[in-house]
Amino acid sequence: MEKRIPDDACQYFNEAMETMTRAEIEALQLERLQATVKHCMQSPFYKKRFEEIGLKPEDIKTLADLRKIPFTTKQDLRDTYPFGIASTPLRNCVRLHSSSGTTGNPTVILHTQKDLDEWANQVARNLWMVGLRPDDVFQNSSGYGMFTGGLGFQYGAERLGMLTVPAGAGNSLRQIKFITDFGTTAIHAIPSYVTRLYEVMKENGVDPRKDTKLKVLAIGAEPHSEEQRKRIEDMMGVKAYNSFGMSEMCGPGVGFECKEQNGLHFWEDYYIVEIVDPETLEPVPDGEIGELVLTTLSREAMPLLRYRTRDLTRVLGRSCPCGRNHVRLDRMRGRSDDMIVLRGVNIFPIQIEKILMQFPELASNYLITLTTDEDNDNMTVEVELEELFTDDYSRLLDLESRIRRALKDEILLTPHIKLVPKGSLPVSEGKAVRVVDKRKVYQ
Ligand code: ADP
Ligand code: ZN
């Protein structure tokens, strides 16, 4: 376990792991996969599953043999709730987290002390990669508690050696006071919350460029478009790096953008990354969108083999000017279960966001509502206006029709558009809720 903090000038937190060649990565993966599979035989769930199909740990001789192992699904975690999938006795576990339950019952993930240490190393690696050093002041606006974004970033930022401010979620005035009083240089936040924070800064006469020392944002935990990122960077006057995590894989730290901002580096010393066709479950070629499947390589309490994340993405490359050869994945489109099927057309909320963010007249908050009206399924997109100009009807109508046209080009359907005053749509403290489905008949 790497605990040493490198010199500030070093580009890498763990140079040996971050700069491995592809051949080195694959050799390490095979070694760690074999050890993981062996260890999984301590899990009643995996032991039974392997026995059922007559697979033995010794049958995993090459990385390609991974495909002999059945997938693990969220349903498996629910069926074995709370501890049935663990590969380590509870006595050796020191922490439990659970997913935020965005798409159903929560699932429980256990950690040993070693798991927590490795997780902190992963997060520290990411924060170091985007230029943060022990002199920085890191403020975490994630909710603490079961949500992994809280403690996950806390321990990672501390591992790096930063002064860490566990501000927690919400209470924007207090956040801003901390930012200015403590000289916060980096914030971790959910993208939808950064916009809110900026609004409150503006209302209180705080200019993030002049009145704060901010230089880096880590944004993640929910899907967001490139356009949304650009807006956030323009508003706050700093770089915003995409951070991917999920509780099943530990939490934040699984994938993170480097300074090139050309996709998320997924750490292949910790995970094997597969992208599969969600229907056939066969691998898709690099560049093609499919479901992300992850196998943990260093987890003790609860290793997961070929876990179907339901997140849709694609491989962008396996090398990078930053010197890291860990696979680069495209920003997530959303989860397969976020996909809206409306009149037979498949639409992701992120496609709608991308269009809306191109209109400077619009603010960042929006809500998609699906209804059945006289046997027809319809979509209404409510979006907040940056400024109120309700007295100028022709301007409103013109804006509405331009948005409708742009959306039609993107999603091939014509939604109703409702322009609403800023601050009138619900804001959640956690992940943003973008879609409300009130249809009578579900596809
Ligand atoms: P829940 O599964 O209940 O939402 P988690 O907190 O474990 O709880 O959420 C993990 C999920 O959040 C991922 O599977 C993914 O869908 C989403 N997510 C996390 N980070 C990102 C990101 N940077 N971009 C898009 N989606 C993300
Ligand atoms: Zn890179």
SS3 string, the chain, reads CCCCCCCCCCCCCCHHHHCCCHHHHHHHHHHHHHHHHHHHCCCHHHHHHHHHHCCCHHHCCCHHHHHHCCCECHHHHHHCCCCCCCCCCHHHCCEEEECCCCCCCCCEEEECHHHHHHHHHHHHHHHHHCCCCCCCEEEECCCCCCCHHHHHHHHHHHHHCCEEECCCCCCHHHHHHHHHHHCCCEEEECHHHHHHHHHHHHHCCCCHHHHCCCCEEEEECCCCCHHHHHHHHHHHCCEEEEEEEEHHHCEEEEEEECCCCCCEEECCCCEEEEEECCCCCCECCCCCCEEEEEEECCCCCCCCCCEEEEEEECEEECCCCCCCCCCEECCCCEEHHHCEEECCEEECHHHHHHHHCCCCCEEEEEEEEEEEECCEEEEEEEEEECCCCCCCHHHHHHHHHHHHHHHHHHHCCCCEEEEECCCCCCCCCCCCCCEEEECCCCC
Mutating to test ligand 1, I would choose from 222, 313, 336 the residue with most ligand atoms within 8 A of its C-beta, which is 222
Among the bound ligands, the one closest to the CA of 255: 1
Among the bound ligands, the one closest to the CA of 324: 2
Give the CA distances from residue 274 to residues 34, 266, 296, 334, 428, in Å, rounded to whole numbers and listed in that order. Answer: 17, 11, 12, 17, 32
Which range is least confidently modeled, 7-21, 57-71, 331-345?
Answer: 331-345
pTM above 0.95, yes or no: no
Is pLDDT above 50 for 246? yes
Give residue for tokens 């975690």: 77
Q: Residue 160 C-alpha to ligand 2 middle, in angstroms?
A: 19
* pLDDT (0 to 100) of residue 1: 53
Task: With cut-offs at 50, 70 and 90, classify the pLDDT of residue 357.
Answer: very high
Among the bound ligands, the one closest to the CA of 316: 2
- Atom of ligand 1 at shortest distance to CA of 251? 7
Give residue for tokens 């070629």: 285
Which residue's alpha carbon is at the smallest distance from atom 20 of ligand 1? 221
- Atom of ligand 1 at shortest distance to CA of 309? 14
- Atom of ligand 1 at shortest distance to CA of 220? 23
- Atom of ligand 1 at shortest distance to CA of 106? 3
Task: With cut-offs at 50, 70 and 90, classify the pLDDT of residue 104.
Answer: low
Q: Which CATH architecture has domain 340-437?
A: 2-Layer Sandwich (3.30)
Task: With cut-offs at 50, 70 and 90, classify the pLDDT of residue 390.
Answer: low
Q: How far apart are CA 316 and CA 400, in angstroms?
A: 35
* Predicted confidence (pLDDT) per residue in 270-282, tens digit: 999 999 999 999 9
Pocket of ligand 1 (CB under 6 A): 99-102, 148, 220-223, 242-247, 309, 311, 331-332, 335
Q: Residue 97 C-alpha to ligand 1 middle, in angstroms?
A: 14
Beta pairing, strands 362-373 & 345-347: unpaired
Q: Topology of 1-337 in CATH? A: Rossmann fold (3.40.50)
Among the bound ligands, the one closest to the CA of 189: 1
What share of the chain in percent tops pLDDT 90? 85
* Domain extent listing, the chain: 1-337, 340-437
Interior CA angle at 43 toward 42 and 47, to 5°? 85
- Atom of ligand 1 at shortest distance to CA of 148? 6
Q: Average pLDDT in the 382-400 region? A: 87
Q: How far apart are CA 322 and CA 282, in angstroms?
A: 31
Which residue's alpha carbon is at the smallest distance from atom 14 of ligand 1? 246
Give residue for tokens 């292949």: 268
Exposed/middle/buried for 210, CB within 10 Å: 0-12, 13-18, 19+? exposed
Q: Name the average pLDDT for the chain.
A: 94
